[in-house]
Amino acid sequence: MKIALIGTYPPRRCGIGTFTHNLAKAIIQNTNDRNIADRIMIAAVTEDDAEYEYPEEVQIIIRQNQQNDYVRAANSINFSDAGICILEHEFGIFGGDDGVYILPLLHRLKIPLIVTFHTVLKDPSYTQKLIVEEISRKAARIVVMSRLAVEFLTDIYHIPKEKIVVIEHGVPEMELVSRRKAKSRFGLDGKKVLLTFGLLSRNKGIETVLHSLPEVLKNYDNFLYIILGATHPNVLKHSGEEYRNSLQRLVKQYNLENHVYFVNEFVSEDKLFEYLSAADIYLTPYLSEAQITSGTLTYAVGAGCAVVSTPYWHARELLGNGRGRLFEFRNSRQLSSILLELLQNDEKLVALREKAFEYGKKLRWPRIAKQYLYLAEYVFDNWQKIPETETQPIDLPLLPDYDISHIKRLTDDTGIVQHAKYG
């Protein structure tokens, strides 16, 4: 059975794209097909003005803000040999208010649909709630990556629990080398390495770590904190390197130049694994609890890092049962204490790593993709098309072009005719 996947896709730099690509590759690993395009067709969502050299499995291009592209994509999927469609949903990657342009595509699909919600909001706007409910109505099954997301969907969006499946975020099968060897590659022999990675933006909370390090430095100085990742493209577009520059000023203010290192790159997965192999402690100091899924956190657990994090939703769940340590949002003093405890106690550090690595084994992409394949086969075998209802959100591409001719006919050089009487 061929699967149509809708989402962003490499070489576009986007977390959803990385997820979609890894899922596609892992599905192939679970089949006898050698050529990914024989089993997978990708409908890649792209920026309107972008020109990417996509691989052969990308057979449909959807320009984010072009409504007709969504309709054409639905028609292409329907007339292909795909037996099922999987939508990777994130509000920000589709056009229109809160990504409403995806709905006309879904309304036209004639094959069963599975939706993966990468974000589930606790306090959605009216439009966001409407979109999630409509997507869920069209979907045969909904995939989320945490148990809390199931609660949100049932309690807030009133989606039947039996329609929802939990499949955790996958991690690649990493070729991890010994920590000592990995550190040697970076010239960090003998040092304890702290790491944060991901596209840089203000909600990452890196400043909390920087505020904590002077206290750490008073008691332990043999460490380096690596901040790995380019600035998020949307942040770069609107405010440039303002956030990175503010962090660099903090480094200078606290005299941390020899203990903090910025790597301003969008690194490949292979390079990322090298950094993860070298890391003793991985930090996610995010500022808000409202993050239901974190790919970077999952990667760190999969790599067997000792993770220290703020208690955002995904962290509370993934780091439970002693798989990591949590500190309060923006609490640099508490973070200092935890870091010193781990840096000065190798037994505690190793225990955290071992628990994380053991749990991470079940998150390897081939195992995760197998769950998607089982689900796809079940849905394909049991799907019953949902009858169209008379009430559904407006299908935007079907509306006529905006025309004010009627208003002009009612208007003279005095103004618009309103409540006028003749005679």
Instruction: Between 421 and 163, name the one with better pLDDT.
Output: 163
Each domain of the chain, given as residue ranges in start order, spans 2-170+366-398, 179-362
Lowest mean pLDDT among 203-207, 233-237, 314-318: 233-237
Q: Which amino acid is at 212?
A: S
Average pLDDT over residues 228-232: 91
Q: CB neighbours of 121 closer than 8 A, spacing ≥ 6?
A: 128, 132, 152, 290
CB contact at 8 A, 196 and 316: no
Q: CATH number of the domain at 2-170+366-398, out of 3.40.50.2000, 3.90.1490.10, 3.40.50.2300, 3.40.50.720?
A: 3.40.50.2000
H helical segments located in 265-331: 269-278, 295-302, 313-318
Average pLDDT over residues 5-20: 94
The rounded percent of the chain whose pLDDT value lies above 70 is 94
Average pLDDT over residues 14-29: 94
Instruction: Between 118 and 38, name the one with better pLDDT.
Output: 118
The Cα–Cα gap between 217 and 257 comes to: 12
Calculate the alpha carbon distances from 392 to 103, 387, 398 in Å: 10, 12, 13
Sequence length of the chain is 423
Distance of alpha carbon 351 from the chain centroid: 29
- Model confidence over 38-72: pLDDT tens digits? 899 999 999 999 899 999 999 999 999 999 999 99
Q: Hey, which of 72-86, 174-188, 288-302 has the most confident mean pLDDT?
A: 72-86
The yes-or-no verdict on residue 392 having pLDDT over 60 is: no
Q: Please, which pLDDT band fits residue 131 given cuts at 50, 70 and 90? A: very high
The Cα–Cα gap between 196 and 276 comes to: 10
H helical segments located in 186-294: 206-219, 233-239, 242-253, 269-278
* 2-170+366-398 and 179-362 share one fold: yes
Question: Which CATH fold would you assign to the domain 179-362?
Answer: Rossmann fold (3.40.50)
The Cα–Cα gap between 77 and 281 comes to: 45
Average pLDDT over residues 141-161: 97
- What pLDDT sits at residue 411? 79
